[in-house]
Structures are given as structure tokens and as C-alpha cells.
Copies of this chain bind each other. A is one copy, B any other.
Amino acid sequence: MADRSASRGTVSRDQWAAQIAALDGTRATSRSRKAPITVGRIVDTAFQLVEAEGFEALTMRRVAAALQTGPSSLYAHVRNKAELDDLLIGELCAKVTLPTPDPARWQEQVLDVCRQLRDQYLRYPGISRAALAGTPNSLDTLRIGEGLLTILLTGGVSPQSAAWASDAAFLYVSAHSFEASLRQRPEEDGDGVDRAELIERFKMLPESRFPNTVAYARELTHGDEHDRFDFTLEVLLRGLLPATS
């Protein structure tokens, strides 16, 4: 590590090295010094980081280090870490394709959009925390809200119910993904409970106070996260229709 000549005299060693490196090394790329930091590069690096190590590893310092710079350099392109989070979930939402509304298949279509969003979330573990905490007023998240709203309206749901239901569905997708990302991460805490272990723990409960939890431990732990996801949304959509007529 010969990086200690920071406050040298006139031209520091790093600068000198950078000049030389600029001469022989990456001269071809129109710029002399380094690849410039852009919002796109920041977002890309952030995605790689979250995909590899989870959302809690997404740190301004980690992103800056991956870009071979200091943390303060990011603040010229991103106002906050909250804004970086919003950019991430915005880009995720942008990848969801909205179907053209079909009155006969509105329930499947809503479920499809929600599933797409969930899959995007689960690709980057823990990122749904940003979706829960952040402003839901990004233009890309509003696009999904508009899409859900349109599908529901086309399906014959009343405007008030459609408005509230699209919000509820969006919220549920975020919350479910967040919980799922927690479960799928044993967090090296020793609390990594698989399904068999969970059943055992439920059955260890005192039957006097938890009779039904003990009796239906199998049902409580049955199915994977996808089944629960589909179940809840289908129940929600089924309950939506009778209110309109």
C-alpha cells in the first residue's frame, strides 16, 4: 500500500501515477482519467451489490468502493441514500410489463402483474424494504398503480374499490416479498428454521393456550411462499367483485 502520500508537496504521487496511467493505459477512451461516475453506473453497482450480498450490504461506502472512489463522490449524482433506493425500486418497477386489460381475465392479469413485481423483488434479496420505506410516488411505481387500476376498472370493479384495492395489492406485494426475503435468509443466526423444525416448534407449544396452532401446525406451515402469495391475492380479488354489484 503506497497510497500514503496524500498531502505531499505540489503534485502528489497518486496524481503522478494517474497521469502516467492515463498516458499508456486507457488512452483510447476519449477521457484521460477514469470512467466518469454517472447515475447509471451507481445504480448498476448497487444492483450488483444487493444481488450478491443483500440489501443490508447496500452502503454508500460499498458502492463508492466498487467504483474505486470515496463515498462523497456519489452525492453529486444522488441526493440521498433514500433517493438511491427509490431509483432501484423504480428501475425494478419499470421492468414489469403491463398487459392490455381484458375484462374476462382481469383477476389473472392482476395476479400476473403482482407476480412479476414479486419476482423482481425476490431477485434482489431484501430490496423490498426500500419499497416499503420509500416514497410510493415515483413515476415508475405510479405506472404499476395505473396499470392495476386500469385492469380493475376494466374488470368492472367500482372506482373507489379499484383505487383502494390497487394500493392494497401493491402494499401486500412489498410486505410479502420483504417477509419472504427475511425467511430465506437464515442470517447465520442459528435461527434458520426449515419447515420441519417449524412444525416441531409449533407442536411444542402448550396445548392449553395454543390448541389450534398445535392442531393445525401442518396447515400453518404448508406450502411455499408462492402458494401463500397466490392464495392471499386470490382471496382479495374474490372478495372484490361482490362489492360492485
Known: A179-B132, A210-B142. A149 touches B236 (CB 8 A): no
A191 to B239, CA, bound (A): 34
CA distance A191 to B160 in the complex (A): 25
* B235-A153 in contact (CB<8A): no
Complex Cα spacing A184 to B174, Å? 20
For residue A19, CB closer than 8 A to chain B, the reply is no
Determine the chain B residues whose CB is within 8 A of the CB of A231 once the complex forms.
Answer: 161, 164, 168
A84-98 at interface with B (beta carbon < 8 Å): none
Closest to A134 in B: B182
Report B-chain residues with C-beta under 8 Å of the C-beta of A211: 146, 150
Shortest C-beta distance, A168 to chain B (Å), equals: 4
Interface of chain A, helix or strand or loop or mixed?
Answer: helix
Q: Which residues of B contact A160 (CB under 8 A)?
A: 219, 222
* Known contacts A168-B228, A168-B235; 10 further A-B pairs (Cβ under 8 A): A132-B178, A132-B179, A142-B205, A143-B210, A149-B213, A168-B231, A171-B179, A172-B172, A232-B236, A238-B239
26 contacts between A and B (CB under 8 A): A132-B132, A133-B182, A143-B209, A146-B209, A146-B210, A146-B211, A153-B216, A159-B219, A160-B222, A161-B235, A162-B216, A163-B220, A164-B223, A164-B228, A164-B231, A165-B235, A168-B228, A168-B231, A171-B172, A171-B179, A235-B236, A235-B239, A236-B236, A238-B238, A238-B242, A239-B239
